Amino acid sequence: MKSTVVFVLTICCGLTFASFSSDCGSEVGTVNSVTVSGCSEDDDRCTLKRNTDASVEINFTPKKDIDVVKAVVHGILLDIPVPFHLTNDNGCVNSGLTCPLKAGQTYLYKATLPVLKKYPQVTVTVKWELTDQDKKDITCTFIAAKIR
């Protein structure tokens, strides 16, 4: 059923979400697509290998002009958000973005997520948010993953 809903939304709305990702409440932007290294669009869950870095790309379009972009990432385990450390949470620096962002233009955010060796081997939902200067979600994306 969930796959059918995602497929219908993809056809109707022109979104290209892979099956492992979904929007979780983008307020001032629209997520166009999400890619994660080592994951294919057919995967229900991305495999994140411990002691490696995962590359994440989010293609999005802001609905308003944006001066500040901050990345906030959590792993959700048993409905409890656990912060994931990013080496760079400033979306305006070394992420493919040049701030300020203009409403209606398409941008590609690029980041690296360190998957630390100390992380347990679990199934997790990664919540990846890009927030603006008002702490509103430009994008909010759930990424279904398993840490191995």
**Domains parsed from the chain with CATH numbers:** 18-147 (2.60.40.770)
Per-residue pLDDT 10s for the chain (148 aa) are 433 333 333 333 334 445 788 999 999 999 999 999 988 878 889 999 999 999 999 999 999 999 999 999 999 999 999 998 888 999 999 999 999 999 999 999 999 988 999 989 999 999 999 999 999 999 999 999 999 9
Tell me the per-residue pLDDT of 36-56, one tens digit each, with 9 for 90 and over. 998 887 888 999 999 999 999
Q: What are phi and psi of 8, to 5 degrees?
A: -65, -45
- Rounded distance, CA 24 to CA 142, Å? 6
Residues 9-35 as b or e (16 or more Cβ within 10 Å = b) = eeeeeebebbbbbbbbebebbbbbbbb
Report the amino acid identity of residue 72: V
- Rounded distance, CA 12 to CA 54, Å? 30
Q: What is the pTM of this model?
A: 0.83
8 Å CB contact between 138 and 69: yes
Q: What dihedral do alpha carbons 28, 30, 9, 5 form, nearest 10°? A: -70
